[in-house]
Structure 1
Amino acid sequence: MNISPQFNHGAHEIFDVHEVLSCTIGALNKYTVLRSKVKDQELLDILDRQHQFMQQTYNTIVDCFKSGQDPAVPTKTYMMKENNTFKFGLTPTQPKKPIQSETEINDEIISGWMLGSAKSLATVKTGAAMETTNPVVRRVLADSIPNCIEMAYEISIYQNKNGYYQVPQLPITDMQAIMQSYAPASEAVAAR
């Protein structure tokens, strides 16, 4: 049966891509609402760059989803400005708790919501890409997953630098013991 590229989608794919696009709209809306509440210029720069990138990715997915063919604007690569430096260790802080008022929204909370959005998009796009039948849509979804990961990583570095996201570390002897507990697989030929 010869199907037009526009309708080269399985039912499961339709629902999965619908979920990807709905989650992306949710993330874009969240970024738009939160923008006016950001205090730190660095976080505002990250938010603006990520919003712009997510919007372009959304448009690319919509384009190939509707046409079933290569999008007019292909998937691009998100480039963060942050370096890859994490501060390790724990510093005592006040216990976290839910806010009681919108006036308590601050850069820590905003960056946490941004991190959650990027992680959610990576998860939903991964699930959709594995079940998408249209090869163009599947490739666009798959190619966009590393960008979600990069955005989440950028936010986690920002949070770590500002003390919002602490990274505990095992003692070196424990790390070495675990790291040394694995060896490469042998290249033995499987029995037939």
Structure 2
Amino acid sequence: MKTGTREAMVLSEVLRTNACMVDHNNLYLNSCQDQQLRSILERQQRHTLDSFQRMVQMMQSHGMDTSKIPMPTALTMATGGQSTQFTTGAQMTAQPYSTGQYASGSMYTTGTAGMSTSMNPQMTGQTGMQTTAINDKMIAEGALLFHKCGADTTTRAALESSEPHLRNALTNMARNCIEMSYEIYNYMSQRGWYQLPETPQNFISHSATQQQYPPQ
């Protein structure tokens, strides 16, 4: 596959993932009750949108067609549904994500502030089926999974890209996804929403010697 075609394919997949992430974050923000979680999501949303615009700009500067790439709803509404073109003279280097006051090691307020008691745990839709109301724990879980998916997608895209500028930008995007996922993890861990399983007491660990010389 020629250089350029391969980059266009992997970048399109990265931007599709980012657009989906932005749209879901908008849904999360509409339902988020905890102000701490809302602050994290808003900061991450701004960074993701900025990264999306920079990557589209880089594609356009390399002569790639971006008209088929789905745009986040926020950008589509801002441009009236028209194809978005970004100024090629602006800075295109991916910026590192900063967690701000929620850096690793910072403490979050514990308790149930994010679990609104006014939320009906079950709602009946038009189909008559019961659905569970979304809460802050679900939102954090979804955001964490999106960042993990983003890190995986952008890492694979960087491995498939041979153009130096695009590869570096994708590498930075992957690193930023990792930082954002770690920020969400710290938030969830402090609230007791992300607990690792304890090692079973009867867990058997096979040493290298046992693996090399199995019992006869």
TM-score with structure 2 setting the length? 0.64
Correspondence list, 1:2-41, <5 A: 9-41=3-35
Equivalent pair of 1:160/1:167 in contact (CA under 8 Å): no
Structure 2 residue 199 is the aligned partner of structure 1 residue 148: no
Task: Specify the code of the residue in structure 1 equivalent to 2:41.
Answer: L
Between the two structures, name the one with larger relative contact order (CA 8 Å, sep ≥ 6).
1
Partners of 1:86 and 1:71 in 2: how far apart?
A: 34
Equivalent residue of 2:183, what SS? helix
Instruction: Provide Cα deviations, 1:15-35, integer angstroms capped at 9, x if missing partner.
Output: 111000000000000001111
Equivalent pair of 1:115/1:156 in contact (CA under 8 Å): yes
Equivalent pair of 2:55/2:92 in contact (CA under 8 Å): no
What is the total number of aligned residue pairs between the two structures? 156
Instruction: Provide Cα deviations, 1:104-146, integer angstroms capped at 9, x if missing partner.
Output: 2000000011001111110000011111132211111111211
Give the alignment partner of residue 134 of structure 1, picking from 163, 169, 176: 163
Equivalent residue of 1:36, what SS? helix
Aligned to 1:164: 193
Task: Identify, as 1 or 2, the structure richer in helix.
Answer: 1
Equivalent pair of 1:86/1:160 in contact (CA under 8 Å): no
TM-score with structure 1 setting the length? 0.72
Partners of 2:89 and 2:199 in 1: how far apart?
A: 47
Give the alignment partner of residue 82 of structure 1, picking from 70, 83, 102: 102
Segments of structure 2 that go 5 or more residues without pairing to the other structure are: 63-87, 108-122, 124-129, 209-216
